[in-house]
């Protein structure tokens, strides 16, 4: 969704299958500015402060340790960076449901 509106996008998934689907979709749409990386939300394949923006859509309900995932997002964001997180399931833990 962001690839046409920014210089570079990094897409992370923990399955090669989903990354393959992303690569195929990018190729079909002639989108060339996406770097597909295999990784886990609790240990993102990115350096400290690498990103201006982190977006996670419809995956948080799969995370076994959501607080660790949030720590990882903060780690890979530049100071003052933006996190956009949306999901379809709310948590019983109010910290994670914010």
Q: Are residues 33 and 52 in the same domain?
A: no
Q: Are residues 65 and 33 in the same domain?
A: no
Q: Are residues 35 and 53 in the same domain?
A: no
**SS3 (DSSP) at 4:** helix
**How far apart are alpha carbons 55 and 40 in whole angstroms?**
15
Pairing of strands 77-86, 51-57: parallel
Q: Are residues 28 and 58 in the same domain?
A: no
pLDDT of res. 93: 62
**Residue 28 is part of which domain span?**
1-39
Tens-digit pLDDT string for the chain (98 aa)? 667 778 899 999 999 999 999 999 999 999 999 999 999 999 999 999 999 999 998 888 888 999 999 999 999 999 999 999 988 766 666 666 55
Q: Are residues 94 and 59 in the same domain?
A: yes
Q: Are residues 58 and 87 in the same domain?
A: yes
pLDDT of res. 65: 93
């Amino acid at each position: 969704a962001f690839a046409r509106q920014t210089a570079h996008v990094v897409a992370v998934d923990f399955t090669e299958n989903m990354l393959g689907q992303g690569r195929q979709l990018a190729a079909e749409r002639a989108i060339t500015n996406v770097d597909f990386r295999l990784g886990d939300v609790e240990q993102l394949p990115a350096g400290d402060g690498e990103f201006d923006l982190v977006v996670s859509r419809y995956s948080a309900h799969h995370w076994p340790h959501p607080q660790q995932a949030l720590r990882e997002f903060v780690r890979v964001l530049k100071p003052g960076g933006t996190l956009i997180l949306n999901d379809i399931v709310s948590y019983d833990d109010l910290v994670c449901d914010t």
